[in-house]
Chain A
């Protein structure tokens, strides 16, 4: 009789579970963006919490601490973006002016012809002899229309960011109370295990984020130093500090991130050095052709990545997540497939959290008689 009751209970639970999944599937499109905002707000809260707590310790006022930290951060980001946008606009303006001049077109066509002439026959592939400069013009035109679409997306991005900032401020203000309310839902039997689980998850996420931020800072500093060294050898790169900072921030996204800083440096090198013979015929180590210092830049970023991957990240992030490299790769692939670059950003800490939950669940299962 008892066995039968148990069986019915299992079926009842399974049906309830399936209903919950179906309900989640139906409402997912309506709640996914809000959930994503909340996840971002939670991550920002985790990053900023220690600063707010430290400031609160000094000025003895939580509200003022949250205000000072968030306003300071927003001001720093606004100054960075504003200054970067102005400099980039100047650079683009200068470049488009140079694009107008005929000598530049000739330079560019000459460079393409020279490059083609140097290529072995099988690479040329018998393609049509097209006007390279007009093709470049076409590319720039396409880029402009892409930029307009981007401006539209920027509007919704700004709205989302404002919401994330508001959520972050609320979470920072009431973090300890929110956590307490959440903990209150845990049944008595699992209370201490639940507390330990929440504490371990917090530690996991904050260690990972702090480690990653320190690694990103070191990548930014090393990239800036590397770009200045390249400039010393005549690479003629501008926006060095911005490229370095973007390279550092992009480094937060594993695997893909490191290439973002490199691509920006490539485009700046190309814009600045078009029409300069010395740059076009530059040789890396006096033996490998490296037009516009492209291979120099790539080599510099590879060196920075190697230092970061082999020395800095293991030291700073190292054991914080404690996942096997294969698990990190699998997590990144799943995150990337599900949510793109954002998914890749969250993949490793999410996998770390799942690991902590798994450990606790296994502990509870093994020690159920103690609870």
Chain B
């Protein structure tokens, strides 16, 4: 029979990578983080479950952070005078709401679960507390976040600029 003492001492040996760490690895905001760092981030995240049709947040609602989809599907939409304008349909490993990690402005669009979904939330208060405890790790996250936003800005510029194929 296995001794509970020894099994407790060696509980972290041969431990499998958690589903949450796997999901975090797919998010560009956490690019280049070691497994240990990802485990630290995992401790700060909040797992939330949503029913189909339940709002994750509404447009103009107060914002505190980003969500990563572990399983399920989420629709990002804008409500234009009663007409629902779907901006994106997100599924497993996708993420949204990351701008809220940087500012306190209200949400710029709504998010609604279209299937029973499990999301992982990573929020600004936790990022701020991480900055106090582990500035090196938080600066990696902030650099990645900057890169994600820069990429998005570049794509927006491309979309807005006139086609230069002539």
Interface set of A (CB-CB < 8 Å, partner B):
50, 53-54, 56-57, 176-177, 180, 183-184, 188-189, 191-193, 195-196, 198-199, 202, 363, 367, 369-371
Residue B63 lies at the interface, judged by CB distance under 8 Å to chain A: yes
Asked if B61 and A188 sit within 8 Å, CB to CB, the answer is no
B81 CB to closest chain A CB (Å) equals 16
Contact partner, A188, options B44, B54, B65, B128, Cβ 8 Å: B54
A177 to B126, CA, bound (A): 11
Asked if B62 and A193 sit within 8 Å, CB to CB, the answer is yes
Asked if B58 and A53 sit within 8 Å, CB to CB, the answer is no
B6 CB to closest chain A CB (Å) equals 20
CB-defined contacts of A202 to chain B, threshold 8 Å: 125
Asked if A191 and B121 sit within 8 Å, CB to CB, the answer is yes
Contact partner, B125, options A54, A196, A363, Cβ 8 Å: A196
A367 to B63, CA, bound (A): 13
CB-defined contacts of B106 to chain A, threshold 8 Å: 370
CB-defined contacts of A180 to chain B, threshold 8 Å: 43-44, 46
Asked if B44 and A176 sit within 8 Å, CB to CB, the answer is yes
Residue B102 lies at the interface, judged by CB distance under 8 Å to chain A: no
Closest-by-CB residue of B relative to A360 is: B62
- Number of A-B residue pairs, CB cutoff 8 Å, is 61
Contact partner, A195, options B57, B60, B125, Cβ 8 Å: B125
Residue B96 lies at the interface, judged by CB distance under 8 Å to chain A: no
A371 CB to closest chain B CB (Å) equals 6
A1 CB to closest chain B CB (Å) equals 26
A188 to B50, CA, bound (A): 8
B-side binding surface: helix, strand, loop or mixed? mixed
A250 to B54, CA, bound (A): 53
Asked if A371 and B43 sit within 8 Å, CB to CB, the answer is no
Closest-by-CB residue of A relative to B64 is: A192
Asked if B64 and A196 sit within 8 Å, CB to CB, the answer is yes
Asked if B58 and A371 sit within 8 Å, CB to CB, the answer is yes
Interface string of B108-133 (1 = CB under 8 A from A): 00000000000001011100110011
Residue B135 lies at the interface, judged by CB distance under 8 Å to chain A: yes
Residue B34 lies at the interface, judged by CB distance under 8 Å to chain A: no
Contact partner, B46, options A50, A183, A369, Cβ 8 Å: A183
Contact partner, B48, options A50, A188, A367, A369, Cβ 8 Å: A188
CB-defined contacts of A176 to chain B, threshold 8 Å: 43-44, 129
A176 to B45, CA, bound (A): 11
A367 to B107, CA, bound (A): 13
| 12 chain-A/chain-B pairs, Cβ below 8 angstroms | A57-B132, A57-B135, A183-B46, A189-B55, A191-B121, A192-B61, A192-B62, A193-B62, A195-B64, A363-B62, A367-B62, A370-B59
